[in-house]
A and B are shown apart, each in its own frame.
Chain A
Amino acid sequence: MAETAHIDVAHVAKLARINLTEEETNLFQAQLERVLEYAEKLRTLDLSSVESAAHAVPIFNVFREDEPRDGLSAEEALRNAPRQANGLFVVTKVVE
């Protein structure tokens, strides 16, 4: 575990697929360093014998019968599409 965390906002923004201006990068860098510095207090706890809680209420393996039911029609599903043609979503070109 790293002693002091260092967040590289420009790098993390790339991972999160969000372009940032230089001004935003610098602002978030300073703000998030403060937030992470505050979060350092979690390191003072001894958690070696504590289980993790992924949820407020432990729920495991909720099953239901695999029965068909109505969903959205293609027309309804496409209604909010930024671009569509021939009943399909038109996407940005991904292959050069």
Chain B
Amino acid sequence: MTASDLPALNIAELRVLLDRREVSPREVLEALQTRIAEIDPPIDAYLSIDFEAALEQAEHADVTLPLGGVPIAIKDIISVAGQPCTCASKILRNYRAPYDATVIRKLKAAGAIPFGKTNMDEFAMGSSTENSSVKPTRNPWDISRVPGGSSGGSAAAVAANAAFGALGTDTGGSIRQPAALSGVVGFKPSYGRVSRFGLVAFASSLDQAGPLTKTVRDAALLMNAMAGHDPLDSTCLKEAVPDYTANLGSDLRGIRLGLAKEYMIDGIDPQVRAAIDAAVAHFESLGAEIVEVSLPHTEYAVATYYILATAEASANLARFDGVRYGHRAENTRNLFDHYGRTREEGFGPEVKRRIILGTYVLSSGYYEAYYARAQKVRTLIRQDFAHAFEKVDALVSPTSPVPAFPLGERSVDPLQMYLADIFTIAANLAGICGISLPCGFAQTESGAQLPIGLQLLGAALDEARILQIAHAYEASTDWHKRRPPLAATRKE
């Protein structure tokens, strides 16, 4: 194996080489650095990389640890001590995190090396990574298209072999949807499974951090390091964490998979529908039983989500006031001028739009009509899933109704963009876990191959079973082995 072959490895494969001392953590980082220089641009997955700090960690890496010597890319909304944490926003352009998020502390304790911060929609608000104030990230399968979002930089980096694995955050699908559009695995843990301490908050009752990886096993390996109670996050559950790799390889006999009749909507791309139908047939051939279930409040999920998420965001983003950190407008006349201009200059259009919507639904006279009502509908949506999981072990659906779309195509109409979140957002409202994994390709008119994502949703804290089911599919298919054709992008 030559150095240029290293970036194509997954984490489990890399760990074998590191454990046998066949490669050193330094060689791994240097191979990755070379690869990133080849593809970034045009992919533009990263916002900042600190190889010097990473090489320092590599020198002291303990390769006997579960993730010893493995470089991990981190979405730029998760604090890594001493590194920028900009959320792709102008308001945090010069901000450096003073401490490690708990997930970073845990990954480091397991031997991983967080070496770079990935691009995203500003404050995780978006589904395309076009809302980054710095630059859009491009889809490695077709650079005229978006990688999905908001964790689009993490997804594109993994897809392009420019990261062995990455962390993202998922408030309404922001791990699973870019994983689907970029052709990688994306895992959203149940609410409370992973600490949120050190994440810049978007919607605190919905946010969860999780891995984006090349394989299901790699997602399980990262979850083993990330999951577990944290006294610094009062919503992080005091529940024992199983070994998520333990059930990988078990067959699907006795497993019941649900198809929600409300998910058979118009507007699913025919090639996506065909890929999901084929995946369901494949699950049956593996021994799973397919059961039709009902999630009767599905049609209310998007409205409920955009009321609750924006309400929480409007409160969370009030902290960006230009006083203790972040951008501050110059020569302001008084306090209101200071706030108004600091936030005008610091926030991009989607963030402003969502803060205004969230402020409105919480404002006197409208609180009951919107926010209080949406909280009640959230109960109904949670109950839908609770009833479904009495009958089945997991729900199967597309992750996104469409494959990756061209840059600029959807940014003009926020409502249309929001409606495309239909399959992912209910999981955040219900606090359950979910995964997206590659299940096929859609061919474009110009001949590009675009990945299609299969979503599996599981009951709260049932991560091990979802990973087992996903792994059984992956182990008997080849979709995850395909990588985008990027050879032509090598610079002179």
Contacts and interface: CB of A to CB of B under 8 A. Distances in A.
Interface of A: 1-2, 5, 7, 9, 12-20, 24, 28, 31-32, 34-36, 38-39, 41-43, 45, 47, 50-57, 59, 62, 64, 72, 76-77, 79-83, 89, 91-94, 96
Contacts, number: 173
B430 A42 contact: no
Q: Which of B96, B372, B431 has most chain A Cβ within 10 Å?
A: B431
Q: Is the interface of A mostly helix, strand, loop or mixed?
A: loop
Contacts of A17: 318, 321, 336, 339-340, 343
Closest 8 CB pairs of A and B: A56-B431, A80-B325, A52-B375, A82-B328, A17-B339, A19-B340, A56-B191, A62-B234
Contacts of B336: 17
Contacts of B335: 92, 94
Secondary structure at chain B's binding surface: helix, strand, loop or mixed?
helix
Interface of B: 94-96, 98-99, 190-192, 205-206, 231, 234-235, 237, 297, 299-300, 302-304, 306-307, 314, 318, 321-328, 332, 334-336, 338-341, 343-344, 347, 349, 352-353, 355-357, 359-360, 363, 365-366, 368-370, 372-380, 382, 413-415, 418, 428-432, 460
Given A15-B363, A18-B356, A51-B376, A76 B98 contact: yes
Given A41-B300, A45-B377, A89-B323, A35 B356 contact: no
B469 to A, nearest CB: 22
B322 A53 contact: no
A93 B378 CA distance: 43
Given A16-B343, A51-B379, A91-B323, 14 more contacts: A1-B368, A15-B363, A17-B318, A18-B347, A42-B377, A47-B377, A56-B192, A56-B431, A59-B192, A80-B94, A82-B328, A89-B324, A92-B338, A96-B334
Contact of A38 (B205, B303, B360): B303
Q: A5, A28, A56: which has the most chain B beta carbons within 10 Å?
A: A56
Contact of A35 (B206, B380, B418): B418
A31 B94 CA distance: 31
A32 B325 CA distance: 30
